[in-house]
Structure 1
């Protein structure tokens, strides 16, 4: 009896490790969706995809970049690109009201890519996803709309400041490189 229990436990552990091994460490996170009770399981949704992960804010001079991010998503999603917007109030430009944040994203800018609930993105309070992004890239976001390009293996291939627009040739080249890996 004990032997079969131990064997069953061992098989469950091996199975869990194999599943975790199929998913890059960078994606082994969950975050709440924007205006959703459901969590976003990054391994489940984004494993094997190239990503652009960006910290956003609804009341920032760079907020119109939502339009360019959506265009980037539409241009490359058929090739396996996902854009993930992570609202943050770290720079005091995000609404405390998730409904207002959702309105800015979905209504004002027509965003169809994944948006999470508001999260801290820098410092010791940063969500584990952004700590991992900053560690790989060698820098945390310095302002809103900081962009990380991640390849299909969960490796950051480039990071771009807020001033770099989503249609910038260097960002496009990084996205194409991430999609090719």
Structure 2
């Protein structure tokens, strides 16, 4: 049986969670979700603070940030425990995080293969995929688009559930 990834909503995917278990995007259906590939040792790592602000500002309005640590650009810590400690100690993150996950190439996680089918691929850390409450891709922004930029705020506010 052939499965066409592009026909699936993003909410059809699950990740290994950073601190164990599974992070199933199906559980977030009905919410706007910002999925961000992250790295702890990158020049854009300070964007964690803005992502946490978004999560706090819009969380009660049906919005979630999901962080996806990746070492595809060689800037992630060595293991999941180190990433979890770094994020807690330095940024006090409370939004869901996945285990270290490939986001590019043949080993890319199925969510990122789905993004590639949509014509979007991370080219560096802190690329942002905004999904509407039905799990459809609304916008894909690169590293240079800051989480608290007018562009991101406008896009997020435009897809918040009623």
Q: TM-score, normalised by structure 1?
A: 0.81
Residue of structure 2 aligned with 1:39, choices 16, 22, 33:
22
Report the counterpart of residue 89 of structure 1 in structure 2.
71
| Mapped partners of 1:33, 1:180: distance in 2 | 25
Structure with the larger RCO, 1 or 2 (CA within 8 Å, 6+ apart): 2
Report the counterpart of residue 171 of structure 1 in structure 2.
152
Residue of structure 2 aligned with 1:148, choices 126, 129, 150:
129
Please state which structure has a larger fraction of its residues in helix: 1
Question: How many equivalent residue pairs?
Answer: 155
Report the counterpart of residue 5 of structure 2 in structure 1.
none
RMSD: 1.3
Moved over 6 A (4+): none
Report the counterpart of residue 116 of structure 1 in structure 2.
98
| Mapped partners of 1:99, 1:158: distance in 2 | 31
Q: Which has the larger radius of gyration?
A: 1
| Mapped partners of 1:51, 1:135: distance in 2 | 19
CA contact (8 A) 2:9 2:134 kept: no
Deviation at 1:180, TM superposition (A): 4.7
Report the counterpart of residue 57 of structure 1 in structure 2.
39
Instruction: Give 5+ residue unaligned stretches, structure 1.
Output: 1-23
Instruction: Give 5+ residue unaligned stretches, structure 2.
Output: 1-7
| Mapped partners of 1:97, 1:119: distance in 2 | 11
Residue of structure 2 aligned with 1:128, choices 106, 110, 115:
110
Q: TM-score, normalised by structure 2?
A: 0.91
Report the counterpart of residue 14 of structure 1 in structure 2.
none
Deviation at 1:135, TM superposition (A): 2.3
Residues 118-153 of structure 1 show CA distances to partners (whole Å, capped at 9, x for unaligned) of: 1100122110011112322x2200100000111011
CA contact (8 A) 2:61 2:161 kept: no
